[in-house]
A and B are shown apart, each in its own frame.
Chain A
């Protein structure tokens, strides 16, 4: 049964259209600086600063493969075009250049861009998010909820990635938790998505079924402010992946929890079915190795690459 608090808001599309229009009115004003410490003989790393709504200055780690045919003594980035991996952040203060545990060697054949959204390290001035705390910041009103700005940040990062001539526009993957699918919905330029939903899928019901953070933040908040429940639930409905999914044109890999988990394959099946770009629903095997290899192999096939980028311990 769909309760009023979990229903799709009638102005869902208008809300996001207004947010994107607000973003479009602000120039990104990119500043790009090479990061020699994180550059290798096969890829050049950059720090990128951009303006998002607020206005607010955000950060991203960019990595560009060095052209295999280029003079090895130069630091010039390769001409490309290369497939791109756009990494959306997990819940926490740190965004990594390449997600922890994944092969750094993926930077040989991909442009990678990892955005640090408002509140995260490197994008924490003047707003330094608290963990726990971020998930309920401004939750009483869709206009003030912190995730409105965060999703605008994610969209802005994608817009910057699209300006890079080294990126192959036919192969751009958004990779990450809930933010990956939501960003794909707001960005038709994203061709592929690898998403592990954890928070924004009928969030009120999810939170009620757990005492684990970060969802416990919502329980904490409503325990202190029970009179604000309807307002908080209404706000969360603007961020629900179920309402974003019908707008996702990207070919999508959805990683579901194992059987019995709050977001297991059965729970995510309707979401997967509603993605018009096509969706493979993969049931987690409770193994970062197995799930990681599956994701890499899926993306390799989708991008038409000969070999997946696997760290040594993932290679059989």
Chain B
């Protein structure tokens, strides 16, 4: 049977009535923890045009989070800040390319990533189902906050203009772009590529590929917990957070994406509140979401809204 076109797909995801209160409580709990930022210049990764710092800050549950912070050496005034959020099984990149474009760029390593895994390390596979039976223990509760705390780090830097902060990422980074833009009104521009963490319970039926397959693995072993899992994931689903996004946002999807099914990207996009949104659906592309071409669109979008 032919598949329903991705943009016409009807998601099974249901929004909890108290989702906004849940996240306000989590954000408040996070805000009560001192950020305790630390920055160490890294001469090995720095170059003639870019200075690189290894940075750390404290996030929810007092977990210490690492990141790479890159700045153009030549700067005359405050810089726009750009938060780069990582994919699921990739290492957070050193964001030198963004620094070369004139941004103060922070590439954060949320809990469980290398250098942020001393206190929390569920592994890969593993992260996606860790604590999944309870929204108060689910891995992404802290993981989302780690990305949000990256905004606090940028705001606290003297060289950053707190009114020009953007967020971008691909795959899990696309999902974190959505959650961070939804939870932090300081974000002024967001570019999400092939967003993960949107339509979790749709995705586990739409694709048999990992990482979403981790949830099917879990449910095969724990079929009696399906409702608990569904209930938990609803609080973390980008589709259910999208109504909080008020900044300009662009989203890209590959119409043949087997990792993050395009149906889920469209469902999330349709739920975004702001009219300042645009989606790019690329036929003939998988999880790359035509990034080779789309990267220039992201550059232009960020330059328009953040003015480096």
Contact = CB atoms under 8 A, between A and B. Distances in A.
Given A101-B286, A103-B208, A37 B218 contact: yes
B123 A287 contact: no
B45 A132 contact: yes
Interface string B26-54: 00000000000000000111010000000
Secondary structure type dominating chain B contacts: loop
Interface string A100-128: 11111100000000000000011000001
Contacts of B96: 211, 216
A101 B88 CA distance: 12
B89 interface: yes
B221 A100 contact: no
Contact of B210 (A96, A128, A132, A292): A96
Which range holds the interface residue count of chain B? 35 or more
Interface in B261-295: 261-262, 284-288, 290, 292-293
Nearest to B217: A37
Interface string B70-92: 00000000000000000011110
Interface stretch (A74-82, A149-157, A217-225, A230-238): A217-225
Interface in A195-236: 211-213, 216, 219-221, 223-224
B120 to A, nearest CB: 14
Contacts of B261: 313
A314 B256 contact: yes
Given A38-B125, A93-B114, A94-B124, A314 B91 contact: no
A119 to B, nearest CB: 10
Contacts of A103: 208-209, 258
A313 B88 contact: no
Contacts of B224: none
B131 interface: no
A92 B90 contact: yes
B211 interface: yes
Interface of B: 3, 43-45, 47, 88-91, 93-94, 96-97, 114, 123-125, 206-211, 213, 217-218, 220-221, 254-259, 261-262, 284-288, 290, 292-293
7 contacts: A97-B125, A103-B258, A104-B208, A211-B97, A288-B287, A313-B255, A313-B262
